[in-house]
Structure 1
Amino acid sequence: MDRKTVNYGQRARIGVLMPSGNTAAEPELSAMMPDGVSCHVTRLPLNGSSAEDLLGMTAQLEPAAILLRDTRPDLIVFHCTAVSTWDPAMDETLCTRIQHATGVRTATTAAALVRAIECMGARTIVLLTPYIDEINEREVTFLRHHGISVIDCHGLGLKTPEEMMAVEPESWMDLALQHRSEAADAYVISCTAIRTLPVIEEIEKVLGRPVITSNQAMAWHALRQSNVLDRVNGAGELLSGQNDTEEHVAMLSSI
């Protein structure tokens, strides 16, 4: 019998803090990990979209991060777009809390999205999400704070990870086509709880623009911060590695 190749983290281990109700991010992240890189997950409570739900996810941040530290990760990531883009200061706040508790390098989905957009040379984007308006407004404010122009934003008004997971991947293709803009440098499909990996390359081919998703951006950012420069097929232009420059990779690795 042929032996199955298993990623036990011989090259790098990535610790992931994610919402408790999210069933999309874990399989998507694992699918984008090259040989020898593993993801190890601890969950924090989040099953809704209210302010109380989102900020409540951070209440037990330190104990959860300390549990992940026991896996000896190269990096711990806080993987929730809606929380990490809450305001321009949230990214730094989350990273500081995790680093103080664990001594491990840290990243958030918010930072991953900004770095990915920068890597693609995009300054003007179309933003598509499953979110309610309040979350969309906060994310647009966050992106604009980082000099990214959002020329169109559309959310589906969904409130729970279960509802978000239920959206078929092909629906994101349809939504991107409905909001096609020649002025857009890239399309950002935001949220870690949705299924986008199967259609990223198809959308890029049809629209002729890079597509950046929360899970894809985090996979790319975490790999580059862990000094893993492998090209990953089937996950879009970002992970193909063709836009990685020596200066950009060095910058990411030093964060």
Structure 2
Amino acid sequence: MPDSLGPRLKVGVVVPSTNTSAQPELDALRPDGVTNHTGRMVIDDDPMLDEPGFGHVMHSIRLSTHPAIRSVTGCGPDCVIVGVSPESYWEGKESHGSVLDSMREAAGGRPVTMSPDAINAALEALDARRIAVITPYLPVGDDSVGRFFADSGYDLLNLHGLGMPSPARISHVSEAQLRDAVKEIDSAEVEAIVQVGTNVAMARLAAVAEFWLGKPVLSNNVVLYWHALRRNGIADRVRGFGSLLAEH
């Protein structure tokens, strides 16, 4: 018999213990008959002001990601979302495949969604190659994100880092800050704006920005959930969070 609350799809989600944005945003995106089940990568709110500090946070995430994935597989999810951005980009495009393979292995072979794959699929669906990117990081994190997109063949026209000094502080980014960042990086040449960082609450603001700009604005959490739904046979159009979930 199927799960009584999640007969269509059970989604495992793992996020850092410092992340307070991904869980409520992903829960707001659920179609009827789909449930989310969240595990936590236990990390400290260490500073990310320079490369050694950022590297220490990455090391903590790596140590705790597989245990967090295993913590959600006991409920029998159909797929797993790994809701952490830096690990996806830090070592570059060439290493992403091996990282993804290790996540699938920890998930018992289940489909795993990570930010690079979800964003690539979204930009392909939107036929957008000329992009601008918003990150929550200081330059040490921005550099790895920018390099990943450039190496993936995108024309990266602009990148804006919000300069958050630690993992938990990322959740303090306000909608006003995001509005200003969108205005700063947009131009007539930009085909889509991409926000990375799952502890940034941008789902609602992205939809509003799309309306005013007349172009796609992709929130990291919305893109992750869209990818997980579509890969696993859920085609429901969810409105109020941007054109990706509403139209693709």
- TM-score, shorter chain, exceeding 0.5: yes
Q: Does 1:88 align with 2:87?
A: no
Q: Does 1:73 align with 2:104?
A: no
Find the counterpart in structure 2 of residue 252 from structure 1. Answer: none
Q: How does 1:46-65 map to 2 (within 5 A)?
A: 46=43, 47-48=45-46, 49=48, 50-65=54-69
Q: Deviation at 1:144? A: 1.6
| Partners of 1:62 and 1:98 within 8 A in 2 | yes
CA separation of 1:61/1:189 partners in 2, compared to 1, >3 Å: closer, same or farther?
closer
Q: Deviation at 1:63? A: 2.8
Cα RMSD for the two superposed structures: 1.6
Q: Deviation at 1:14? A: 0.8
How many residue pairs get matched? 236
Q: How does 1:183-194 map to 2 (within 5 A)?
A: 183-194=189-200
Equivalent-residue separation in structure 2 for 1:177 and 1:112 (angstroms): 24
TM-score, with normalisation over the residues of structure 2?
0.90
Q: Does 1:144 align with 2:150?
A: yes
SS in 2 for 1:187: strand
Equivalent-residue separation in structure 2 for 1:8 and 1:161 (angstroms): 32
| Partners of 2:83 and 2:198 within 8 A in 1 | yes
Return 18-27 or 105-114, whichever deviates more.
Answer: 105-114
Find the counterpart in structure 1 of residue 136 from structure 2. Answer: 130
Find the counterpart in structure 2 of residue 232 from structure 1. Answer: 238
Find the counterpart in structure 1 of residue 23 from structure 2. Answer: 26
Gaps of 5+ in 2: 49-53
Gaps of 5+ in 1: 1-6, 245-255
| Partners of 2:41 and 2:67 within 8 A in 1 | no
Q: Percent identity?
A: 28
TM-score, with normalisation over the residues of structure 1?
0.87
Q: List 4+ stretches of structure 1 deviating above 6 A.
A: none
Equivalent-residue separation in structure 2 for 1:192 and 1:61 (angstroms): 15
| Partners of 1:9 and 1:36 within 8 A in 2 | yes
Q: Deviation at 1:163? A: 1.9
CA separation of 1:36/1:91 partners in 2, compared to 1, >3 Å: closer, same or farther?
farther
Q: Deviation at 1:90? A: 4.1
Letter in 2 for 1:185: E
Output one character per residue of 1:178-204: Cα deviation in whole Å (capped at 9) or x when no partner.
222100000111110011112112101
Output one character per residue of 1:16-49: Cα deviation in whole Å (capped at 9) or x when no partner.
1111100000000110111111111111134343
Find the counterpart in structure 1 of residue 115 from structure 2. Answer: 109
Return 119-128 or 167-176, whichever deviates more.
Answer: 167-176
| Partners of 2:104 and 2:112 within 8 A in 1 | yes
Equivalent-residue separation in structure 1 for 2:10 and 2:95 (angstroms): 25
Find the counterpart in structure 2 of residue 98 from structure 1. Answer: 103
| Partners of 2:133 and 2:195 within 8 A in 1 | yes
Output one character per residue of 1:143-189: Cα deviation in whole Å (capped at 9) or x when no partner.
12221111100102112233221121132112211222100000111
SS in 2 for 1:164: helix
Q: How does 1:7-46 map to 2 (within 5 A)?
A: 8-46=5-43
SS in 2 for 1:58: helix
Equivalent-residue separation in structure 1 for 2:33 and 2:176 (angstroms): 31
| Partners of 1:69 and 1:104 within 8 A in 2 | no
